[in-house]
Amino acid sequence: MRCVLACAVLVSGSILSSTLAAQQTAASSDSESTICAFEDGRQITARYTPVSTAKTDGPPTGKVLSPGGSAMTFFTETDLVLGATTIPTGGYTMYILPAKKEWTLIISRNTAVDAKYDDKQDLARASMEIGQLSNPAEKLALYFGHTGQKKCEINIDYGKTRGWVAFREK
């Protein structure tokens, strides 16, 4: 709810209405959120459906992951940099494209969590490092870690695999 209030101040009306619609759809009782706060108090938030992953080594490769049949959502109260791309303040959908040796994190301009993934809506893509967990995750889990000044790393656990990549506050 805090992001909605801050985003209302920071984004235009058309982006705000899309952000609110995505947030309301994603805020169902079976979704979970993770938040990272920067030194200036501004936050980034990711929401997702924690689908069961315990009996898998990792997500299916070569196919965009939409856990529970819907996109993950991503909200930022500040401009960010992912890879070489700037992500403006606002609300977006977020996807993972798993491969055998690395994953790709995708931030999409589309805010309809139930819409089919469309690569033409991609705003940012970044390679994620991956590693093996000693104990498999029972469910898909996302975590943010504040890893440095103006830097938050997202960690995504799926089965026996963890992927991670950093966002920098602009």
Question: 154 vs 13, which has greater pLDDT?
Answer: 154
Structural domains in the chain (count): 1
Q: What is the pTM of this model?
A: 0.81
What residue numbers bound the domain in which 153 lies?
Answer: 2-169
Token reading at 64: 């965009």
pLDDT at 14 over 60: no
pLDDT given at position 18 = 42
Residues near 113 by beta carbon (within 8 Å), at least 6 away in sequence: 22, 25, 26, 70, 71, 73, 93
CA distance 39 to 21: 28
Backbone angles phi, psi at 10, to 5 degrees: -100, -15
Q: Which residue has the tokens 């139930």?
A: 114
State the SS3 of 105-119: EEEECCCCCCCCCCH
Q: How confident is the model at residue 3 (pLDDT cuts 50, 70, 90)?
A: very low
